[in-house]
Structure 1
Amino acid sequence: MANLYDGKMAAIYDAMYQSFVNYDEEYAFYNNLIQENKSSSTLEIGSGTGNLAKRFAENNQNYQGLDYSDDMIAIAKERNKNCSFIQGDMRDFKLDKPVDSILITGRSTSYLITNDDVNRTFESIYKNLNENGVLIFDFIDANRFIPFTKENPSIIHEAEFQNINYKRESHWDTNNSLENFMLEWTAQYYTIINGEKEVIENDFSTVRVFTLNEIQLFLYLNNFEIIKTIDRKTYAYDTYVIVAKKIA
């Protein structure tokens, strides 16, 4: 797995996503699913810079965050002094105590490139859930996203944070030689100052999108039963959110 959002990228990501995502709505969405399943302890995988953590802490919930990026965790810890964050890999982690629910947020499933990555992740999650625990996660829908990228090879997102105007210009390569509905993503980040474009960072990732049938099969093979499927649009992508219960 690549070193995602390290160094300068962690701060840029944090600034831009304040505009991209309404974190109050995001928290309410996930918390409703957690409460429906009577979960009293939660791990968020892909906790990033701690924007959801802040909401969980404000409501005195039993919350932990796990992220691959040390730099993202450093921002999260500064923002949330009383929250617990773990640097770790979703494909292989072990909590001190199992939890009732595990979230994978922010379409972090996109970085599970191989089938082995997906299976190892679901296996690790299974081991860290209590009996009848639930897994809640989102993923980009390949059936809608791949046609969209072919029709829109360049996509621009704009954000404003602390009086700075940011832009991200994304390019998606839907090279058919890539396996597992993988795409190569390049992005240039820049600010607009006095009408002038100033490049602040370039980024590259290989990401994977999934069909709903693929996800259903992965969960079945790893002893999860889907109890809810939600078709959910985000600021940029058509996604599905899955709620799945651990079964014996």
Structure 2
Amino acid sequence: MANLYEGKMAAIFDAMYQTFIDYDEEYQLYNNLLIEHHCQTVLEIGSGTGNLAQRFLQNHADYIGLDYSESMIAIAKERNKSGIFISGDMRDFELEKPVDSILITGRSTSYLITNQDINNTLDSIYKNLNKGGILIFDIIDANRFIPFTKENPVIIHEAYYQGINYYRNSNWKTTLSENFMLEWTANYYTINGEWKEIIADDFSTVRVFTLNEMQLFLYLNGFEIIQTIDRKTYAYDTYVIVAIKK
């Protein structure tokens, strides 16, 4: 797994995604599902800079955040003084005690490149969930996203946050591998009038999924899907999957 969003990239990501994602709406989606399934404790994988954590903690949730990026964890801790945040790898982690529910948010599943990555992640999640525990996560739908990137190889995102205009130029290239993989290259700029200054660049190999293949991964790792939500997010067509530990 790549060393995601370290250094200044963590702060740039945080600033841009404040305007891309409605975190109040994200919180309501996940919290309603947790209430529906009577979950008292929650681990968020891909907790990032703590935007969802802030909302869970404000509502007195028994919450833990886990992220691969130490820079993002640092921002999350500063933003949420009372929160518990762990720097770790979703493919191999161990909590002090199991939880009722685990969320993988922000399409973080896309960084699970190999089948072994997915199986290791689901195995770790299984071990850290209570009996009958709930797993909730989102995936980018390969059947819709790959044709979209073929027709739109360059995607522009703009954001205004705390007096700064941000601009991101993303390029997507489909790879001919055994999985549904894409190479993502992005340049980040700030804009002041007619001037555009590059502040960072980024490269990642990401994976998108069909719903059927994810259903099979879950089945083979001891989970049963109990709900699937077809959801349009700020840039991608996704599925939110709710599964129960068998």
Per the TM superposition, whether the score is higher than 0.5 is yes
The runs of 4+ residues in structure 1 deviating greater than 3 Å are none
Structure 1 position 163, deviation (Å) = 1.1
TM-score (norm 1): 0.98
- For residue 205 of structure 1, what is the amino acid of its counterpart? S
Deviation string, structure 1 residues 78-129 (Cα, Å, up to 9, x no partner): 0000000000000000000100000000000000000000000000000000
Which residue in 1 is equivalent to 2:4? 4
In structure 1, C-alpha distance between the alignment counterparts of 2:239 and 2:63, rounded to whole Å: 23
- For residue 193 of structure 2, what is the amino acid of its counterpart? N
- For residue 68 of structure 2, what is the amino acid of its counterpart? Y
Classify the secondary structure of the residue corresponding to 1:149: helix
Classify the secondary structure of the residue corresponding to 1:38: coil
Structure 1 position 211, deviation (Å) = 0.3
User: How many pairs are equivalent?
Assistant: 246
In structure 2, C-alpha distance between the alignment counterparts of 1:230 and 1:135, rounded to whole Å: 14
Structure 1 position 179, deviation (Å) = 2.7
Classify the secondary structure of the residue corresponding to 1:216: helix
In structure 2, C-alpha distance between the alignment counterparts of 1:241 and 1:146, rounded to whole Å: 18
Which residue in 1 is equivalent to 2:44? 44
Which residue in 1 is equivalent to 2:26? 26
Structure 1 position 195, deviation (Å) = 1.8
In structure 1, C-alpha distance between the alignment counterparts of 2:213 and 2:80, rounded to whole Å: 36
Classify the secondary structure of the residue corresponding to 1:225: strand
Which residue in 1 is equivalent to 2:194? 195
Which residue in 1 is equivalent to 2:128? 128
Classify the secondary structure of the residue corresponding to 1:124: helix
Q: Any stretches of 5+ residues in structure 2 without a counterpart?
A: none
Structure 1 position 212, deviation (Å) = 0.3
Structure 1 position 244, deviation (Å) = 0.1
- For residue 13 of structure 1, what is the amino acid of its counterpart? F
What is the root-mean-square deviation of aligned Cα atoms in Å? 0.5
Which residue in 2 is equivalent to 1:229? 228
Which residue in 2 is equivalent to 1:162? 162
Classify the secondary structure of the residue corresponding to 1:126: helix
- For residue 164 of structure 1, what is the amino acid of its counterpart? I
Classify the secondary structure of the residue corresponding to 1:169: strand
Instruction: Note the 1:108-187 alignment, pairs <5 A.
Output: 108-176=108-176, 178-187=177-186
Classify the secondary structure of the residue corresponding to 1:113: coil
TM-score (norm 2): 0.99
